[in-house]
Amino acid sequence: MNEVEHTIKQLREGDELTISSVYKSNREKFISYARRFDINREDIIDIYQDAIIALTENAKKGLLDGLKSEISTYLFSIGKYMIYNHLKKNKNLPLLENNIPDNITWNDYAEEMQDDDVRKMKASFSKLGEQCQKVLRLFYYEEKKLDDIVTALAYSNKDVLKSQKSRCIKQLKELIQNDK
Amino acid sequence: MTNKDLLIEKFLEHTLSAEEQLEFDRLLQSDAAFQQEFEFQKKLKASIIIETREKQKQQLRALEREIATPSRFKYAAAAAIILVVFAALIFALIRPDTDDLYASYYEPFPNLEKPTTRDKTTTDLPAKAFYAYDTENYATAAALFDQIYTQQAADYAILYEGLSYMELGKFRQAIQTFELFDFEKQNNYTHTISWYLALCYLKNQQTERAKFLLEEVSLSDSQFKTSSTELLEELN
């Protein structure tokens, strides 16, 4: 396993030290790249942080597996895409369609953030027990298949996990009801 | 777990077979309860993603604070800020006017791309655009270069569209246009666009941004190297 593969593995596992070292080692370069655009510093940092989050998400989804370039090149292509989106959003640029680079997925869920149901669900989700949060996060956020979650969380078999997941969703629905 | 729940689960796992996908689409069209459950699942997915990202964001913000202000420097930083504010105030009183500097450094950039033909009936879009540019019909030129950019994302279209806006005195639009350029690319346009973008920032009184770009150009071997170095000296 070479260095890049090792870093990708660590990112996939959500290793905080790796995330922080990737963050630190590309930060200056990204800021100075972004400085030529009409974006204030706070927004640059905000965009950079989103790019780091997208990097870890894509690593978890396996999209970085077999990556031919450096991690920093990948991170920059996400960041550049986000800068253009930011410029576009704030200025109604008469732009060419800003296509997302290959191998990268990113949905900013801007619309959903404004949705009342989503807000309530989010609040209820954080009240769930730790195990439920783990299971649901692996399934919905990391898009792991149930078989992989069985292994990751050491369940004895898939049925046990399935009934756990159903219980968690039932609990969540009750919490949402109580919040109304 | 019902068959319907299983379909939704497989949809979220991206493991629907072609046959199951058909059934899934059919139910989504015809079964209100299924549709409702699917909507719930989609929103649930969104809310968990948003929640998880917020948590990560908090961690990154904490990391950012750590990097940006190591605690023993905090007081020093506060003192430095006060000093900088005073210096900026004094500086503002004595520094040269950015409008004057712009006027003495800005020179129209010639059409180096395409010799203009006198044939007004040409249908070739680039030829039309450069004809408009050469005959100083800058509003038309800007619109035509914008079309070219939309069609083929050509770098020259960015340069000449931006230049047309500058000629029209529309500096905000010029900045927005130049920003479309991919500055990681190093080609014939990189430093020319940086130079004119710096002038726009200067005109807009965004001096710090202008200086940043001028520094880059002054280190390059571009035709604007000398001008950048001189302008930088005047700004400093």
Q: What is the 3-state secondary structure (H, E, C) of chain A?
A: CCHHHHHHHHHHCCCHHHHHHHHHHHHHHHHHHHCCCCCCHHHHHHHHHHHHHHHHHHHHCCCCCCCCCCHHHHHHHHHHHHHHHHHHHHHCCCCCCCCCCCCCCCCCCHHHHCCHHHHHHHHHHCCCCHHHHHHHHHHHHCCCCHHHHHHHCCCCCHHHHHHHHHHHHHHHHHHHHHHC
Contacts of A30 in chain B (CB under 8 A): none
The topology under which CATH files domain A3-91 is Rna Polymerase Sigma Factor; Chain: A (1.10.1740)
- Residues 109-128, chain A, touching B (beta carbon < 8 A): 109, 112-113, 115, 117-119, 121-122, 125-126
Its sign, for the CA torsion B212, B215, B221, B227, is positive
Q: Where are the domains of chain A?
A: 3-91, 111-179
pLDDT band per the 50, 70, 90 thresholds, residue B120: low
Indicate if B121 and B219 belong to the same structural domain.
Answer: yes
**Predicted pLDDT at A117:** 92
Mean pLDDT of chain B: 87
**Predicted pLDDT at B70:** 61
Indicate if B89 and B112 belong to the same structural domain.
Answer: no
Indicate if B76 and B145 belong to the same structural domain.
Answer: no
Which CATH number do you get for residue B228?
Answer: 1.25.40.10
Give me the percent of chain B exceeding a pLDDT of 90: 46
A122, A130, A149: which to substitute to probe chain B, counting the most B Cβ within 10 Å?
A122
Q: Do B49 and A140 touch (CB under 8 A)?
A: yes
- Which of B94, B112, B129 is a domain's end point? B94
Indicate if B86 and B102 belong to the same structural domain.
Answer: no
Query: In 10 A of CB B148, how many CB atoms?
Result: 19
ipTM of the complex: 0.91
**Predicted pLDDT at A74:** 92
The model's pLDDT over A52-102, given as tens digits with 9 standing for 90+, comes to: 999 999 999 888 888 888 999 999 999 988 988 888 777 655 555 556 677
Indicate if B43 and B108 belong to the same structural domain.
Answer: no
pLDDT band per the 50, 70, 90 thresholds, residue B164: very high
Name the CATH superfamily, with its identifier, for domain A111-179: PhyR, sigma-like (SL) domain (1.20.140.160)
The model's pLDDT over B172-183, given as tens digits with 9 standing for 90+, comes to: 999 999 998 988
Q: Do A95 and B180 touch (CB under 8 A)?
A: yes
Indicate if B230 and B188 belong to the same structural domain.
Answer: yes
**Predicted pLDDT at A23:** 96
pLDDT band per the 50, 70, 90 thresholds, residue A1: confident
Indicate if B138 and B200 belong to the same structural domain.
Answer: yes
CA dist list (Å): A42 to A38, A39, A77: 12, 8, 20
For B171, the domain range is: 98-235
The model's pLDDT over A118-133, given as tens digits with 9 standing for 90+, comes to: 999 999 999 999 999 9
How far apart (Å, rounded) are the C-alpha atoms in residues B105 and A91? Answer: 28
Its sign, for the CA torsion B73, B76, B80, B82, is positive
Q: Do B212 and A80 touch (CB under 8 A)?
A: no
Whether the predicted pLDDT of A134 surpasses 80 = yes
- Please give the structure tokens belonging to residue A58: 């894509």
Contacts of B61 in chain A (CB under 8 A): 49
Indicate if B73 and B163 belong to the same structural domain.
Answer: no
Whether the predicted pLDDT of B121 surpasses 70 = no
A168-175 — which CB contacts under 8 Å span 24+ positions?
A: A168/A128, A168/A131, A168/A132, A168/A135, A168/A136, A169/A136, A169/B44, A171/A128, A171/A129, A171/A132, A172/A121, A172/A124, A172/A125, A172/A128, A172/A132, A172/A136, A172/B44, A175/A124, A175/A127, A175/A128
Mean pLDDT of chain A: 89
**Predicted pLDDT at A121:** 94
**Mean pLDDT across the stretch A148-172?**
92
- From the list B43, B61, B209, the residue facing A35 with the nearest CB is B209
Indicate if B29 and B104 belong to the same structural domain.
Answer: no
How far apart (Å, rounded) are the C-alpha atoms in residues A168 and A12? Answer: 25
**Predicted pLDDT at B118:** 62
**Mean pLDDT across the stretch B157-170?**
93
Contacts of B182 in chain A (CB under 8 A): 80
The model's pLDDT over A21-56, given as tens digits with 9 standing for 90+, comes to: 999 999 999 999 998 888 889 999 999 999 999 999
- Which of B42, B74, B94 is a domain's end point? B94
Q: Total domain count for chain B?
A: 2
CATH topology of A3-91 equal to that of A111-179? no
Indicate if B76 and B2 belong to the same structural domain.
Answer: yes
**Predicted pLDDT at A173:** 93
